[in-house]
Amino acid sequence: MLMILYWGLPCSMILMGMFVFISSRKHLLSMLLSLEYIVLCMFFLLFIYLNLMDYNGFFSMMFLVFSVCEGALGLSILVSMIRTHGNDYYQSFNILQC
């Protein structure tokens, strides 16, 4: 029963995050937030796995470093798009425009 809680809860959280990511296609900010939620759920799953296998926390810290870099990159893209186009709607600008 405890193993279902260990593996079922993070996997269902990841699936819910993917559903929110797929359903929120209008705003870039909501998509970035759902991606960060998926990354945090994956970190939770990795943390549980590493604790069950008695590994060090080095791998989880490396995962956190890469996820923070990914979040900062997404936020910088969001800020640059808002500065150039005025909002974060996908329908208001053309991606192919230079």
pLDDT at residue number 29: 83
Asked if residue 94 is part of any domain, the answer here is no
pLDDT, tens digit, 9 for 90 and up, residues 41-84: 998 888 888 888 888 778 888 888 999 998 899 889 888 888 88
pLDDT at residue number 97: 57
Q: Please, how many CA atoms are within 13 Å of residue 67, restricted to the half-sphere of its CB?
A: 19
Domain count for the chain, please give it.
1
- Looking up residue 57, the CATH number of its domain turns out to be 1.10.287
Instruction: Count the neighbouring beta carbons within 10 Å of the beta carbon of residue 39.
Output: 19
Domain that includes residue 44, residue range: 2-85
Asked if residue 60 is part of any domain, the answer here is yes
Asked if residue 21 is part of any domain, the answer here is yes
Q: What angle do CA 39, 45, 51 make, to 5 degrees?
A: 135
Q: What pTM does this model have?
A: 0.79
pLDDT at 4 over 80: no
| Token couple for 11 | 């996997």
- Name the band, by pLDDT with cuts 50, 70 and 90, for residue 16: very high
DSSP state of 68: H
Helix/strand/coil for 30: helix
Give the chain's end-to-end CA distance (angstroms, integer): 55
